[in-house]
A and B are shown apart, each in its own frame.
Chain A
Amino acid sequence: MQNGASDVLNLFRQGDEAAFEALFRQHQSAVYGWILRIVRNPATTEDLTIETFWRIHRAHARFEPSRGFEGWARCIATRAAFDWLRAQRTESEVSAELCSEPAATAKADAAVSAEIRLKTAQAFGHLPPKLRIAATLAVIEELPQKEVAAALGISVAAVKLRIFRALRLLRKDLEQQGIMP
């Protein structure tokens, strides 16, 4: 079984289309789930999953089978999501995200009003994408910082710094709007 997986990775590296399809089918859910955590929009996530695999397909010759496919794919997916976030920093989009997430209202603490949640989400959407991704994955999704660092291609210390800066900027923004977190 291990040999079979290794063969697929080696064939993919050589540009074999069937191996690429096998890897796509095996990892599409994981890549989709990872991107969804960052962009929080199913339709965009589908597009970005395809974009990620297109980048993977183009970069097949640079793939090192010994380092594993999942981590490599996750790095590329994070980069694709980052590029998208950088291009889409509008307030209306953040509002739409919240509206399209009915679970948000159901799960929310009754003490925190819908208005505060909306303003928080909007303020979070105004953060620079690199801070936003680190905070989303490590603070909202509570993923291990080591995992976040690997996906972003930075050190754990840099992840901590980005989270600190993200939360500080967010608090400042909310305070300017009269919300004291």
Chain B
Amino acid sequence: MNEQDRDRMKKLLQQALPPVEGDAGPERDLWPGMLRRMDAEKAAMPLTGWACFNGAWFDVALLAGVVGLVAIFPAAVPVLLYYL
């Protein structure tokens, strides 16, 4: 492809897809959308460390109860497995 071909292709391309004019900016402030995105991502993140105990104290208490029950009555394990 020589220089002439290249210029012809460039002209054709610019006619088919005109360059974006000047300082194209968003029509509205995108910060509220950014905040929504950040909140959504934070909510979807898996909880780690102590953070997982903040919102799930009931689950933790239930788990502790089950562990305690199994420790005191090992014979209850098959019954628990049956109901799981």
On A, residues with C-beta under 8 Å from B are: 21, 24-25, 28-29, 32-33, 36-37, 40, 42, 45-46, 49-51, 53-54, 57, 97-98, 101, 103-104, 107-109, 112, 116-118, 120-121, 124, 135-136, 139-142, 164, 167-168, 170-171, 181
Known: A46-B26, A104-B18. A170 touches B13 (CB 8 A): yes
Number of A-B contacts defined by CB within 8 Å: 111
Complex Cα distance, B18 from A97, in Å, reads 11
Evaluate contact between A171 and B1: CB separation under 8 angstroms: yes
Whether B38 is near chain A, meaning CB under 8 Å from some CB there, is: yes
Complex Cα distance, B83 from A34, in Å, reads 58
Given A45-B26, A140-B14, A181-B9, 8 other A-B residues pairs in contact with their CB atoms under 8 A:
A33-B24, A40-B17, A54-B38, A57-B38, A116-B12, A167-B6, A170-B9, A171-B1
Evaluate contact between A29 and B20: CB separation under 8 angstroms: no
Interface of chain B: mostly helix, strand, loop or mixed = helix
Closest chain B residue to A136, Cβ basis = B17
Evaluate contact between B16 and A36: CB separation under 8 angstroms: no
Interface of chain A: mostly helix, strand, loop or mixed = helix
Question: Closest 9 CB pairs between A and B?
Answer: A29-B25, A120-B16, A117-B16, A121-B16, A33-B24, A108-B15, A167-B9, A32-B26, A37-B20
Band of interface residues on B: 20 to 34
* Nearest CB on B from A113, distance (A): 10
On B, residues with C-beta under 8 Å from A are: 1, 5-6, 8-21, 23-27, 29-31, 33-34, 37-38, 41
Known: A104-B17, A118-B16, A142-B19. A167 touches B31 (CB 8 A): no
Cβ–Cβ < 8 Å partners of B20 in chain A: 33, 36-37, 40, 141
Complex Cα distance, B30 from A101, in Å, reads 22
Complex Cα distance, B13 from A136, in Å, reads 9
